[in-house]
Each structure stands twice: as structure tokens, then as C-alpha cells.
């Protein structure tokens, strides 16, 4: 089992940047594939980005490609989401998630992930 705690959210102006962190504890961090999702009020949770166990493969939603970067540092049991050129539509609660296994064509499915953090709020003002 793994516990996930997100941090780094906040209020930022459009065009600004934020870096989210997700610290994991429990089982060996490198055993897990990691993902970031987000959810706005009244909307379903949506995929943002994912990274393989050792960082060799990354995946992004079209809406964030070129603006967001996912990375991980297994020595620190942490996964990051660097967000740049933020837009008001990026406003949401951001969640990190861990998967024990996955299929590369399902990294954007919430059902793929076994563990979830509590989320961190990101608000982008126009």
C-alpha cells in the first residue's frame, strides 16, 4: 500500500507557473506508475499526465501538452507536475495517483489507479 500527499497548489495569474509535488510513503515508490488528474466543480475527474515507473515514458492530455511536464525522483519518493503558461481553465483540484500495473493505452483511465491523494487546489485567475 502507498500513501500519497500532494502539495504546491495555490492561486496564480494566467500565464504563470506552479509546480505540484506528490510525496509517497509505504511500499517502494519505484514499484508504481504515477499519474496526475484534475477535477473542476461539476465535472468528471480528468487525466492530466502520467509517468512510468522509472520515468522512461510520459503521457499527457492534449489540453496540457507542451505546457505541463511530469517527472519523478524515485530517490525522494516524489512525483512532480511542472505547470507553465497556466490558463483559467486549468483551475481544478489536482490529484496524484499510483498504479501497481497498467496498460499504456489506459493510463488516462481513473480505474487504472489503485491509490489516490487528497488533492491540492490550483486556481488560475484571468
pLDDT digits (tens, 9 = 90+) for 19-36: 999 999 977 999 999 999
**Alpha-carbon Rg for the chain in angstroms:** 13
Residue 52: phi and psi, rounded to 5, are -75, 175
Alpha carbon 53 to chain centroid, angstroms: 14
For residue 1, the model assigns a pLDDT of 85
Which residue's C-alpha cell is 500500500? 1
For residue 15, the model assigns a pLDDT of 98
**Residue pair 28/39 in contact by the 8 Å Cβ criterion:** no
For residue 27, the model assigns a pLDDT of 72
**Residue pair 47/102 in contact by the 8 Å Cβ criterion:** no
CA–CA separation, 67 and 54 (whole Å): 22
Regions of the chain where pLDDT drops below 70: none
For residue 104, the model assigns a pLDDT of 86
Amino acid at each position: 500500500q502507498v500513501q500519497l500527499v500532494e502539495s504546491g497548489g495555490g492561486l496564480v495569474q494566467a500565464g504563470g507557473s506552479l509546480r505540484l509535488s506528490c510525496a509517497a510513503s509505504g511500499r517502494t515508490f519505484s514499484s508504481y506508475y504515477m499519474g496526475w488528474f484534475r477535477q473542476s466543480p461539476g465535472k468528471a475527474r480528468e487525466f492530466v499526465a502520467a509517468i512510468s515507473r522509472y520515468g522512461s515514458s510520459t503521457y499527457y492530455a492534449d489540453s496540457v501538452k507542451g505546457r505541463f511536464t511530469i517527472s519523478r525522483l524515485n530517490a525522494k519518493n516524489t512525483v512532480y507536475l511542472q505547470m507553465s503558461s497556466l490558463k483559467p481553465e486549468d483551475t481544478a483540484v489536482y490529484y496524484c495517483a499510483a498504479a501497481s500495473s497498467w496498460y499504456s493505452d489506459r493510463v488516462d483511465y481513473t480505474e487504472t489507479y489503485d491509490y489516490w491523494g487528497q488533492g491540492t487546489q490550483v486556481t488560475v485567475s484571468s
